[in-house]
Amino acid sequence: SQTIHQWPATLVQPVGSPLSLECTVEGTSNPNLYWYRQAAGRGLQLLFYSVGIGQISSEVPQNLSASRPQDRQFILSSKKLLLSDSGFYLCAWNSGVGSNQPQHFGDGTRLSIL
Amino acid sequence: GQQLNQSPQSMFIQEGEDVSMNCTSSSIFNTWLWYKQDPGEGPVLLIALYKAGELTSNGRLTAQFGITRKDSFLNISASIPSDVGIYFCAGQLPYNTDKLIFGTGTRLQVFP
């Protein structure tokens, strides 16, 4: 069966420091991969998605970037974190075969910027 | 970004009561999905709907894909304390099924 892993689960970083959050999927090939951010008590905002290695679509202008160095690996990065980057970051995947495939989420990373 | 109109925003009910929440949009969707999110965790898929008019159940949960393809509802019967959480609807647009449009969420509290 397919599984998705995100780490770390929680992270506290100072303003201006770099960021690297990692997400990996197991048990499937060529998935679509997604990064979302969720502010406290709010809905999910799509940040980036990828339909293949090296292919990244950015949804909103921001201080973050994403990369997909391997088929089942998706990385969210920043060179210099801002206070406004605090939030709950979720990775998700769905099958890249066919359309209308539901997305499945990881357990998230709670990022606090001090 | 675009979001679906989801209501109610929050619900406070007694254990054993039935619950109903819905999502509406001005756009037509190919797929409607319902997720539940527990505190500090990622959303978990509850029900997926693929055809207009489709009615699907998962235990005490029932969801329907509106006939106009612009709305969906989720019902929970005989609520229990573990139903507590945030429920999100999500839809896939016909011209871009790679992305999901999410509702604003319904926060459910169940009192014993």
Is residue B43 less than 8 Å (CB to CB) from chain A? yes
How far away is chain A from the Cα of B30, in angstroms, using its nearest Cα? Answer: 7
Both structure tokens of A33: 């991969």
pLDDT in tens, B2-56: 678 999 999 999 999 999 999 999 989 999 999 999 988 999 999 999 999 999 9
Mean pLDDT of chain B: 93
**Cβ of A102 and B43 within 8 Å?**
no
Omega into A18 within 30° of 0, i.e. cis?
A: no
Both structure tokens of A95: 């099958």
Top-confidence residue, A62 or B30 = B30
Q: Is the dihedral of CA B64, A96, B1, A12 positive or negative?
A: positive
- 3-state secondary structure at position A28: coil
Residue A100 pLDDT > 90: no
Strand partners, A88: A38, A110
Give CA A80 to chain center in angstroms: 17
CA dihedral B43, B46, B52, B57 (to 10 degrees): -170
Angle at alpha carbon of residue A28, lines to B95 and B48, rounded to 5°? 45
Buried b (16+ CB within 10 A) or exposed e, A56-95: beeeeeeebebbbeeebebbbebeebeeebbbbbbbbbbb
**Cβ of B45 and A44 within 8 Å?**
no
**Which A residues 64-93 touch B at CB under 8 Å?**
90, 92
Phi, psi of A83 (to 5 degrees): -55, -35
d(CA A79, CA A82): 10
pLDDT in tens, A12-60: 999 999 999 999 999 999 999 999 999 877 789 999 999 999 999 998 8
